[in-house]
């Protein structure tokens, strides 16, 4: 279950709301409508951050959709207990209509989800296609906030591809997990495609020792 939905008054939920506020004020002259969330390496908590961040936007009255574009290891369907047979890949290859694949998130008004769908043999090519760009352009006309979960940067090129069509990218870093050189390399790869990096979310911080659950650093 997503913390922000389960317990909106918790310390973690408050930290996610602070993250939402920082994003909204990160760039005065550009709307942060499409946001990609990724990490340098697997298991740093990017999907958890993505889901909770999306929930905070929905709670603020924004019509929000989460798109699971981590076609290597999708988890959105598990996080929200959603069907997984129809999703992004189904829409991009043309076997399903988008309206048949979008699912409302139970327990949270204004929040919708598009799971990955069947894992394709060529995720990078699919994400780099014109159909993907057109798909995101269409979502812009239907939703106020679009949050995209992307595969880890150092594992595959997927996040770099998606970052190019997003308004901003958040890099999630697992505290005492990711190495400094890995984080630096991830940023370097995103910079190479001119990604607009909004900042780094430090995840998995020990609350007892640190006092706060998440920290947000702007670039």
- As a whole number of angstroms, the distance between CA 26 and CA 32 comes to 8
Phi, psi at 150, each rounded to 5° = -115, 155
Phi, psi at 67, each rounded to 5° = -115, 120
pTM value > 0.85: yes
Q: What is the DSSP string of 16-30?
A: HHHHHHHHHTS-TTS
Can you read off the two tokens belonging to residue 20? 């939402």
**Strands annotated E in the chain:** 34-39, 64-68, 103-104, 111-114, 145-149, 168-174, 197-203, 215-218
pLDDT in tens, the chain (219 residues): 688 888 888 888 888 999 998 888 877 667 899 999 999 999 999 999 999 999 999 999 999 999 999 999 999 999 999 999 999 999 999 999 999 999 999 999 999 999 999 999 999 999 999 999 999 999 999 999 999 999 999 999 999 999 999 999 999 998 888 999 999 999 999 999 999 999 999 887 765 554 444 444 444
pLDDT of residue 207: 58
SS3 92: helix
Superfamily of chain region 3-218: P-loop containing nucleotide triphosphate hydrolases (3.40.50.300)
């Amino acid at each position: 279950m997503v913390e922000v939905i389960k317990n909106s008054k918790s310390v973690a939920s408050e930290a996610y709301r602070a993250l939402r506020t920082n994003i909204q004020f990160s760039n005065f002259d550009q709307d942060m409508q499409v946001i990609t969330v990724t990490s340098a390496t697997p298991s740093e908590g990017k999907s958890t951050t993505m889901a909770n961040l999306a929930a905070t936007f929905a709670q603020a009255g924004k019509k929000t959709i989460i798109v699971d574009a981590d076609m290597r290891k999708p988890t959105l369907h598990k996080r929200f207990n959603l069907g997984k047979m129809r999703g992004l890949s189904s829409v991009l290859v043309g076997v399903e209509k988008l309206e048949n694949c979008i699912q409302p998130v139970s327990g949270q008004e204004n929040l919708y989800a598009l799971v990955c769908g069947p894992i394709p043999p060529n995720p990078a090519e699919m994400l780099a296609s014109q159909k993907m760009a057109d798909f995101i352009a269409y979502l812009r006309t239907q939703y106020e906030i679009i949050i995209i979960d992307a595969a880890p940067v150092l594992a595959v090129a997927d996040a770099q591809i998606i970052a190019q069509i997003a308004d901003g990218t958040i890099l999630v870093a697992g505290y005492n997990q990711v190495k400094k050189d890995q984080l630096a390399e991830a940023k370097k790869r995103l910079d190479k495609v001119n990604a607009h990096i909004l900042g780094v979310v430090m995840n998995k911080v020990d609350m007892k020792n640190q006092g706060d659950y998440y920290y947000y650093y702007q670039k």
